[in-house]
Amino acid sequence: MKFYLFLFGAIAFEVLGTMLLPVTKNFTRILPSIVLSCSYIISFYFLSLTVGKIPLAIVYSTWAGLGVFTVTLLSYFIYRQHISWQSVIGLFLIVFGVVIVNIYKGETNLIN
């Protein structure tokens, strides 16, 4: 269970870094650029903690899927970016797919 907490931490830091991309103004603003870089480093560190205990396909699909979902929703509220109804349906299909993949992940041999 703690490895899923690391995975959600990785998602949170990846989302933070991605949301800061427009704020960096093409990496010309120092503080947001540093926070963005640190966020991605922390995200990948947390990912590295999970891949030995959770299958890589599960880790990556969850990280990418929930990251896309969260960034899209936050972009709508923070940056006032438009989301079409088709995109909303697609986002919920992504979340549904991530849930299905995690429910039916099965047993695998993992590195200890």
Count other Cβ atoms within 10 Å, centred on residue 93.
11
Burial of 3 (0-12, 13-18, 19+ CB in 10 A): middle
pLDDT at position 101? 85
Distances (CA, A) of 111 to 51, 55, 56, 73, 85: 9, 10, 11, 35, 42
pLDDT at position 107? 56
pLDDT at position 104? 82
As a whole number of angstroms, the distance between CA 66 and CA 71 comes to 8
Residue with the two structure tokens 């540093």: 34
Task: Domain ranges for the chain, please list them.
Answer: 2-103
What string of pLDDT tens digits covers the 112 residues of the chain? 899 999 999 999 999 999 999 999 999 999 999 999 999 999 999 999 999 898 888 899 999 999 999 999 999 999 999 999 999 999 999 999 988 988 887 655 555 5
